Amino acid sequence: MMKKLLLSMIAVAAIAFSTQAQTEKGKIMLGGNLAFDTQKSDAAGSKANTSFEVVPSVGYFVGNNIAVGTGVGYSYDKNVGTFRNQAFVVSPFGRYYANISESFKFFGQLSVPMEFGSSKVVDAAGNVGAKIGSSTQIGVAVSPGFAFFPTKKIGIEFALNGLSYTNYKVDDNNGNKINGAGYNNVSFGTNFFSPKLGVQFYF
C-alpha cells in the first residue's frame, strides 16, 4: 500500500514538474502574436475594412510561471471612407501561467501597448490619399489566454481581448492635435471572431 502511494506521489510530482518545465525561473521564451480582422460595412460598400498586427516578442521568467518581456512589431488599420494608419508597435508585458494539464496552461497577461505611426486619408472607393498627420496610441490591457504545448519547447497560444483602456490621438503635419480624430476608449469582453494567435519557443 505504501509502495503504491509513494509511486503515485512520484507520478504526480513528475507531471507537475513537466508542466512547469517550460515556464520555470530562468527560462526564455521567443515568439510573437498575429491578429487579423476584416469586415464589410454599409459605409464601405463592397470594400472591406481591414486591420492586422504582427508583434514578435521575447520574455524572461523571473520566477516559476512568471515572465516579463516586450514585443516589437507593426500594425495596419484601414477604414474605407476615413483613414489608413500604419504604426510601429512596442508592447512591454508581464504574464502569469497556471497549469491545467501536462499539455495545457492558462495565462493572464498585463501589457502596455504603444503605437507610433502615420495616418492617411482613404476615400469611399478605398484609395489611399495624402498624409493627414502622425498618430500616437497608448493603452493598458489585461487579457486571458491558453497555451498548448505539443512539445516541451513549443507553445501554441490562443489569446482573447479582455479589459483594456486606449488613448488615441492624431496630430496634423504641423504638430497640432486634430479635433475629432482621437479618442479614449475602455472595453471589456472577448471577441471569439478576432483572436490573437501566437507561437512561443521556450529555452
For residue 124, the tally of other CB atoms under 10 A from its CB is 12
Report d(CA 113, CA 89) in Å as an integer. 7
Bridge-partner residues for 150, per DSSP? none
Phi and psi (nearest 5°) for 147?
Answer: -120, 130
Report d(CA 102, CA 112) in Å as an integer. 30
Residue 200 contacts residue 178 (beta carbons within 8 Å): no
Length of the chain: 203
What pLDDT is recorded for position 182?
75
Is the sign of the CA dihedral 107, 113, 117, 119 positive or negative? positive
SS3 category, 189:
coil
Retrieve residue 150's grid coordinates: 505539443
Residue ranges, the chain, pLDDT below 50: 1-19
What pLDDT is recorded for position 91?
94
106 half-sphere exposure, CB direction, 13 A CA radius: 5
End-to-end alpha carbon distance in the chain: 39
SS3 category, 185:
strand
What pLDDT is recorded for position 197?
78
Bridge-partner residues for 177, per DSSP? 171
Amino acid of residue 61: F
What pLDDT is recorded for position 2?
37
Residue 166 contacts residue 157 (beta carbons within 8 Å): no
